[in-house]
C-alpha cells in the first residue's frame, strides 16, 4: 500500500485498545460536572473549588494531555447535562447504582460507607441508624443518603415506631449546617465526609454508631455512546495508580482505610 494511502487508512481507525476516539465537548479540554457540596470530594473553600475529586480529575486530565475544566451543576442536573453533551464526565461523589447505570456508564474509583453523624454532646443520645425513628434527619436530595433515610423510616414503620421526619436539602454542607442549627437531630453522610466534618469544624460533630454499606462504590459518569472516552479515562486512572498519585490523594484527603478501588 502506498505510504499516503496507508497514513490515510490509519487515520480512519482509533488507537489500539479504543473502540472509538474519545468524544470531547471542547478540543483539548476535559469538561466535567460536579456539585460542590460534598467534602472532602468537592466543595468550595475561600471561593475555590477543592477536594479529592478535583485533584483526581486534574491528574487524569494530565495523563490524557488535556486541561481540566469543572462546571458546577446541581446534583440532580448532572446526568441531564452529561446526556445533553454539555459536559464530558460526571465526577461528583456519585454512587453507582442500577438506576444510574441504566442511563450512563460509571467507572468505579473509590469505596465508601454510610454513617450517622450527630452534634457533639447529642442531647437525643442517638447511637446509630436504629435510633432515628421519630427524629428529624437531614440528607442531601437525590442521593443515596436520602434513600437510606427513607429505608430506615420504612423500617421504623414496620416496627410500629414513629417514622423519620426527613429533611431533604441541597448538598451535604447544608445538611451539616442544619444539624449545627438544631434543625436536624442527625445526618447521614459517607464515611470520608465524617473525617472532613471533624477536621473542618473541630468539636462540633460526633459519630453515632458504626458505618454500614462499606462496599458502596462511587463512579465517574460517562455517556454510553462515548466508549472511547471511557477507555481513555480507565487508562489514565491505571497510570496514576501505577505512579503513586492516586494513593497520595487518598492520604492527602484523609479517606478511610479501604477506600481505594484499585
CATH number of 17-112+216-252: 3.40.190.10
C-alpha grid cell for residue 48?
A: 475555590
pLDDT at 196: 85
Q: Taking the model in full, what pTM does it have?
A: 0.77
pLDDT at 1: 39
What CATH number does domain 113-214 carry, 3.40.50.2300, 3.40.190.10, 3.40.50.10860, 3.60.15.10? 3.40.190.10
Residues 6+ apart with CB under 8 A from 235: 17, 63
Domain residue spans in the chain? Answer: 17-112+216-252, 113-214
Give the orientation angle of helix 227-242 with respect to helix 245-252, to 10 degrees: 80
For residue range 235-251, what is the model confidence (pLDDT) as tens digits? 999 999 999 999 999 99
The string of pLDDT tens digits covering residues 11-24 is: 333 444 455 889 99
pLDDT band at 143 (very low <50, low <70, confident <90, very high): confident
In terms of Cα–Cα distance, which of 222, 231, 189, 226 is closest to 78?
Answer: 222
Kindly report the average pLDDT of the chain as a whole number: 90
- At 186-231, the pLDDT tens digits run 999 988 888 888 888 899 999 999 888 888 899 999 999 999 999 9
* Closest C-alpha among 156, 110, 108, 106 to residue 135: 156
pLDDT at 142: 83
Amino acid at each position: 500500500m502506498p505510504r499516503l494511502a496507508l497514513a490515510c487508512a490509519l487515520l480512519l481507525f482509533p488507537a489500539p485498545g479504543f473502540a472509538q476516539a474519545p468524544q470531547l465537548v471542547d478540543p483539548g479540554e476535559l469538561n466535567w460536572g460536579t456539585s460542590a457540596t460534598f467534602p472532602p470530594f468537592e466543595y468550595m473553600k475561600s471561593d475555590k473549588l477543592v477536594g479529592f475529586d478535583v485533584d483526581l480529575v486534574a491528574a487524569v486530565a494530565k495523563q490524557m494531555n488535556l486541561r481540566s475544566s469543572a462546571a458546577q451543576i446541581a446534583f440532580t442536573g448532572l446526568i441531564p447535562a452529561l446526556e445533553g453533551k454539555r459536559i464530558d464526565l460526571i465526577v461528583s461523589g456519585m454512587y453507582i447504582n442500577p438506576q444510574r447505570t441504566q442511563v450512563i456508564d460509571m467507572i468505579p474509583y473509590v469505596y465508601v460507607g454510610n454513617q450517622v453523624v450527630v452534634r457533639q454532646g447529642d442531647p437525643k443520645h442517638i447511637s446509630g441508624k436504629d435510633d432515628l425513628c421519630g427524629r428529624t434527619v437531614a440528607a442531601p436530595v437525590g442521593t443515596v443518603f436520602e434513600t437510606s433515610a427513607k429505608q430506615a423510616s420504612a423500617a421504623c414503620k414496620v416496627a410500629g415506631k414513629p417514622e423519620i421526619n426527613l429533611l431533604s436539602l441541597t448538598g451535604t454542607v447544608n445538611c451539616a449546617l442544619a444539624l449545627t442549627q438544631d434543625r436536624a437531630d442527625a445526618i447521614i453522610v459517607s464515611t470520608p465526609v465524617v473525617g472532613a466534618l471533624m477536621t473542618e469544624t473541630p468539636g462540633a460533630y460526633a459519630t453515632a454508631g458504626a458505618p454500614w454499606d462499606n462496599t458502596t462504590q462511587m463512579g465517574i459518569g460517562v455517556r454510553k455512546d462515548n466508549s472511547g472516552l471511557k477507555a481513555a479515562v480507565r487508562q489514565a486512572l491505571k497510570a496514576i495508580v501505577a505512579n503513586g498519585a492516586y494513593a497520595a490523594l487518598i492520604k492527602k484527603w484523609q479517606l478511610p482505610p479501604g477506600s481505594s478501588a484499585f
